Structure 1
Amino acid sequence: MMNICVVGAGYVGLTTSAALAEFGHDVQCVDIEQSKIEMLNQGLIPIYEPGLEELIQRNVQNGNLHFSFDVNEGIKNNQIILIAVGTPPKEDGSSDLGYVHNVLELILSTIQDYKIVITKSTVPPGTNEWIHQRFLDEGIDEKLFDIVSNPEFLREGAALWDIFHPNKIVFGTKTKRPIKVLKKLYQRGRTPLIFTSLTGAEMIKYASNAFLATKISFANETARICDAYNVEYPDVAQGLGTDPRIGRDFLNAGLGFGGSCLPKDLRSLKYSAQRKNVDTRLLDAVLEINNSQVDLYLRKLNTFLPDLTDKKITVWGVTFKPNTDDLRFSPAIALINELINKGAHVHTYDPVVQLQLPGICCHADQYESVTDSDALIIATEWEQFHNSNWAEVKSGMSGSIILDARNCLEAEIIRKNGLIYLGVGKQ
């Protein structure tokens, strides 16, 4: 058992804290936001992630997991400090490391004995080297610290599965001293451990997300070509996915990628590359394709509704993906804003989020949301939408257009219920 302080009670911090506690470690999760800590101590979870609430409750009850807003005390009393604070994007695409810097200042002001400082937050290449040098510049003896880069590879909606069944665990280190401890940090089974340099670990994280984003944009561009030739893109995706060199994951076509990782990390990697005078034409194209997906689907809708002024449009799904409540960089939100700009009356339904935005009407009932609608758009592929009662949808709508912006519906079933199915790369 290890004594671990996780700094940051956001998405990564909470899921990581709960998993480390489940592994048997004594974990203190700290955050300066007092209201969030009070909520957690009352058994309330500020984010939606399947299985997380039960995992936290179990480990709080068995004494392995504690929450506190006394960050100084948490850092002082634990040998392992895991930084899991946000690194939001700036306007120029670079990462705002302000929260990371704040944590470092606290560590530097309290360090008296040996600490392993692990950066779990996603940070640009060179950040952990800078952290190591900062400790030295402050006169901290090298015997008192080790800096480790340990990026996360969590999928929102499946984060706990990813922690308990990782396909790899990456550690970047400056010395060999912390390796023995790091090998015991996670219950890993036969999971490969990758040890590399501090900057090497940071690049593995960025390169992974850049490659996944590239697959998505490749899928979306291929779907456009399929649409032009009346080819079923799902068949093409299946053919691609059977090739072990490619794999099936991240080949779904649709509105594009969003969330807190892919858009932010691509822009940050692009910024980091440009600082070293490296061209990023592939990353530029990936972002350009992704940013044009909403317009692509609106043009598809315009083939049946040329003028959206005063049309009632229902949007199912507002989160950037299913099984999460995360709205950050959600393509669904971008779509909704464009519909409003074109004069449509937008109504929404989402299984988890009650969206509060000017100019929309949010519904708590899936079928009530389509009443008198001219068109229904599936913007997030929640499982319950796959199995909807399409006869009830048809009877409630005034129009008959179903725009499948996630390629997740069976076109034949939609049409059998007297509805018009629209998709990209699906006939």
Structure 2
Amino acid sequence: MSNLALKLEHKSTKSTDTKVFKIWISALTVAFLAGGYFIVERMITGLSATNLSSITPWGAWIAFYIFFVGLSAGSFLLSTLIYVFGMEEYERIGKAALFTAIVCMIVALTFVLMDLGRPERLMNAIIYWNVTSPLGWEVHFYLVYIALLMVELYIAMREDLVRAANTNTLKGFVARLLTSKNSTINTLTKKRDHMWMKILGTIGIPIAILGVHGGTGTIFAMVKARPAWNTAIFPIIFVVSAMVSGTALLLAMYVIKRKVQKKPIDQKMIISLSKLMAGFLIIDLGLQFYEYLTGWYGLEIEHLDTLATMMASDLSWSFWGVQMFLGAVVPLTIVFWKKTNQNINALLVAAILIVVGIIGVRFNIVVPSLVVPVFHELPWGDYFPTVKEWMVSVGVVAMGLLIYSIGELLLPIEETAEEVSHNGK
């Protein structure tokens, strides 16, 4: 093929990518504005827009909150496999994992803001730190975690920012704002960046496990009045399911983006990631099994009622249909069946289904436990999200996708073939 033909093909591909990106941003903007109307209404009218009550004080927004915190922690922990443990086969998604972790935390905390009865008092948890409160520690862990993610992402991008600063593009303009004129790339700076990535990643591992998503699980586990939450294994399940959802999300994002851009897909990495994802899922299912088994054998009436509500009531479709069938049986079949375990499209479906399944897990954690009354003399709860709750959720998620999409436009998030395999060495 001649140079002219190659240039024309590149120009055509770039034009198509620009058109698709504009359509994507337009759709997200419409979704954000539609949801934004209901967000404003919620801020004005309070929680009357929801089906929450004194019996069932948490609902969809808290379920989405723990879902996105899990996506963040899982994405970050996956990045540590690259930057701390040197698993370079996943390096193509390294920076995307860190950026995804940041965006997911923004979305998660926005959902918390939506759920607060008095959102203007949000800063009180930071200013008036009750050191005996797990929630007080959790808030401060979040701040440290987000700061660490931002610093680590900047170091991961530094080399690309220095290169981009010399180009006359939008990314080049942003890169010049983020770097100094004296910034250079050489063997010494590469080793320094690699060292700091390893240090920050190592520091971040206990913060993510014990403080962020394990800490989120601890908030639930400390609620003595809810037997289904009040177990020592509960925070561990949160962390493992975070690894499941984070790996699945990054696999799905990578494949979808490459397909839309009509770029080659690293099949070997996708197959390896899918096996890693399936391994985490099997461990998660094992932990959940023992959690349910001990609850059943404990014969505590509130715990048994919670299990019955989750597995044998009008809400059981979420457990059997979403969590177990779509989120576990189908993906594991795809990953381990010889006819599908090498197929990129099939593995993409498996990853998407696992993400959907983990959403079901989060709803099954929050709702059934709160529907069951603390005392049998009290009335049972009856909760399902209102249209307004769903629309607020659509707006918040669209906001997160907009942040990520615009971030990818302005920052060197995506790894190129030339950048992979060095990692500061």
Asked if TM exceeds 0.5, the reply is no
TM-score (norm 2): 0.27
Name the structure, 1 or 2, with higher relative contact order (CA <8 Å, separation 6+). 2
With normalisation by structure 1, the TM-score equals: 0.27
* Greater helix fraction, Structure 1 or Structure 2: 2
Larger Rg: 1 or 2?
Answer: 1
Q: By percentage of residues, which structure has more strand?
A: 1
